Every structure is written in structure tokens, then in C-alpha cells.
């Protein structure tokens, strides 16, 4: 017999974890996996075994699935690493259920407000009292953090799936950073492929519109690689709706290394193009220099 208590969550966030786990009863296992697919630590065989035991103890497969995933959240961080993306995705999925989800969503919203965070309705977004969007960071610090996590995840943890997730985060953060520096508006709920396309198009001549056909093709292929990384990420870690899932046996560390190099190259290219385009971004120039290895 194993404990089903959420004792590993800090006192401040424990009620939120309980509310999120309860909300999961409205979702399928595939929806729950998708909600947590952004986490660098995927479910391994030992976690699947734990899930089966928890399902018997809790008497509900949804509670058990969410419980195992909640254990992968970085609760010691403030705010908890990986929590907000999971909240937003789970609430979006639960709203498709209809009125039956209203009570559980209200409970989750109340607990988040106690922690000084607001859950908006349309679009579903978590914001701080100051109105900060808590999606993939779009600051220079956020881009640097994505780079650090990317390298540490693959070579420190040996987690190829996790490295792929952070490669996608780096691409998305860089695209947002470029758009913000260029003062180009974008929807906070825009998907990563749209952000990449808009960022590259916004840089115009420096990023794609070269007069030389070979340079133009090279720039275009860089954008295509970024889009392929995003597509690949969406087919791993149990994500649904993006084609056949890629199993652990197919995605090897050398594949992840290729993805990492391509993501870093695209980020460096975009930041350098941003600088050359005349954007007043000392931070962007510094990152472009730091990633030149």
C-alpha cells in the first residue's frame, strides 16, 4: 500500500495541487498526458507501475494519472516549474465538458487566487497581479534559461525527450522575444508554428528575403527546421492530435543532439538578424554572442 496524499507539495501550493488533481476526473488519460506533455521529465516505466498501483488505491484512473504527473512538477520553485502550462491546458480541456466542469474550475481558480494568481477565461491564461503572462518566457533571461535547461537536460539527465521539449521552448521564446523587440503584437495564445512564421517574416530582408537564391533557400530552410522541431515535439511525451506518437526507442540521444544544435542555430540566427535589423536590443546582442560556440 502506498500513500495517496500530496505531501510532497509545499503548504502554499498543496490546495492548488488537490484542486488540479480533482479536475482531472473530467478528462481522459490522453488529455491528462497532453496537459503535462511540456514537462522535461516524461513518464518512465517505473512511473507507469506507480500509476497502476495508485489507480487501485484511489479507485480512479484519472486521479492516479494526474497524481503521477503532479509529482513531476517542480514544487520547490516559486512559482512551481511546469505548473501553469498544465493548469491552462487542463482547464481548456475541461471546459469542453460543459457545465459539469464549472465547480471544479471555480475551486481551482479560488486556490490560485489565494496564491496571488488569476486564471482568465478567454483565453485561458494565468497571470500575476501585475498582469504578466506566464507562458514560455519571452525575455532575454528566458531565452538564456531555455538554453541552459536544454544542455543540462540531455547531458545531465540523458533525457532525449526532455531536451526536445526545451528545444521547442527555446524556439518559441526566441520568436516571442523578436516580436516584442520589434513591437509587433501577437496573441498570447498563438501556437509556436505561428509565432516562428511571424517572427521570421517580421525580420524581412535580414531573415529570409535575400536576393541571392542560395542565401534565401538557406534562410528558409532554417525556418523549416524550427517548424520541424515543433512538430516532432508535438509527437512525443504522449501528446495527442499530432500524428503517431514517437516511442522512447526511436528517439535517441544523437537525434536530440541534432535537434539541440538546430534549435540553437535558429535562435542565434534570429537574434543576429534582429540586431542587424537595427532593433534596440542590447540583450539580444548579448545572447547572440553567448550562443556563438
3 state SS for the chain = CCCCCCCCCCCCCHHHHHHHHHHHHHCCHHHHHHHCCCCCCCCCHHHHHHHHHHHHHHCCHHHHHHHHHHCCCECCCCCCECHHHHHHHHHHHHHCCCHHHHHHHHHHHHHHHHCCCEECCCCCCEECCCCCECCCCCCHHHHHHHHHHHHHHHHHHCCHHHHHHHHHHHHHHHHHHHHHHCCCCCCCCCCHHHHHHHHHHHCHHHCCCCCCHHHHHHHHHHHHHHHHHHHHHCCCCCCCCCCCCCCCCCCCHHHHHHHHHHHHHHHHHHHHHHHHCCCCCHHHHHHHHHCCC
Reading the chain (293 residues) residue by residue, the pLDDT tens digits are: 566 788 888 888 999 999 999 999 999 988 998 888 877 566 777 778 888 888 888 888 888 989 989 888 888 776 787 888 888 889 988 988 888 888 999 999 888 888 877 777 766 666 554 344 444 455 555 566 666 666 555 555 556 666 777 788 888 888 888 888 888 887 766 788 888 888 888 887 555 555 677 877 887 788 888 888 888 877 764 433 344 455 555 677 777 788 888 888 888 888 888 887 764 444 444 444 444 44
Domain boundaries in the chain? 14-127, 140-290
* Full-model pTM: 0.48
Amino acid at each position: 500500500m502506498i500513500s495517496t496524499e500530496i505531501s510532497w507539495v509545499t503548504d502554499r501550493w498543496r490546495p492548488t495541487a488537490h484542486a488540479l488533481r480533482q479536475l482531472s476526473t473530467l478528462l481522459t488519460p490522453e488529455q491528462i498526458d497532453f496537459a503535462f506533455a511540456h514537462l522535461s521529465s516524461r513518464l518512465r516505466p517505473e512511473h507507469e507501475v506507480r500509476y497502476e498501483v495508485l489507480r487501485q488505491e484511489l479507485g480512479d484512473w484519472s486521479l492516479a494519472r494526474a497524481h503521477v504527473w503532479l509529482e513531476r512538477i517542480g514544487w520547490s520553485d516559486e512559482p512551481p516549474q511546469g505548473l501553469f502550462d498544465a493548469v491552462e491546458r487542463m482547464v481548456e480541456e475541461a471546459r469542453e465538458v460543459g457545465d459539469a466542469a464549472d465547480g471544479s474550475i471555480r475551486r481551482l481558480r479560488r486556490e490560485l487566487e489565494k496564491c496571488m494568481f488569476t486564471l482568465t477565461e478567454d483565453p485561458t491564461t494565468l497571470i500575476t497581479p501585475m498582469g504578466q503572462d506566464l507562458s514560455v518566457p519571452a525575455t532575454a533571461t528566458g531565452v538564456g534559461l531555455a538554453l541552459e535547461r536544454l544542455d543540462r537536460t540531455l547531458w545531465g539527465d540523458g533525457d532525449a525527450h526532455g531536451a526536445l521539449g526545451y528545444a521547442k521552448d527555446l524556439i518559441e521564446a526566441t520568436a516571442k522575444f523578436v516580436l516584442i523587440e520589434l513591437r509587433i503584437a501577437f496573441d498570447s495564445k498563438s501556437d509556436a508554428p505561428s509565432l516562428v512564421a511571424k517572427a521570421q517574416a517580421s525580420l524581412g530582408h535580414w531573415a529570409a528575403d535575400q536576393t541571392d537564391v542560395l542565401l534565401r533557400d538557406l534562410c528558409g530552410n532554417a525556418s523549416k527546421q524550427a517548424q520541424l522541431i515543433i512538430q516532432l515535439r508535438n509527437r512525443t511525451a504522449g501528446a495527442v492530435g499530432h500524428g503517431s506518437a514517437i516511442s522512447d526507442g526511436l528517439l535517441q540521444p544523437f537525434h536530440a543532439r541534432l535537434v539541440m544544435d538546430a534549435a540553437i542555430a535558429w535562435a542565434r540566427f534570429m537574434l543576429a538578424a534582429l540586431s542587424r535589423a537595427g532593433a534596440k536590443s542590447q540583450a539580444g546582442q548579448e545572447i547572440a554572442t553567448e550562443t556563438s560556440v
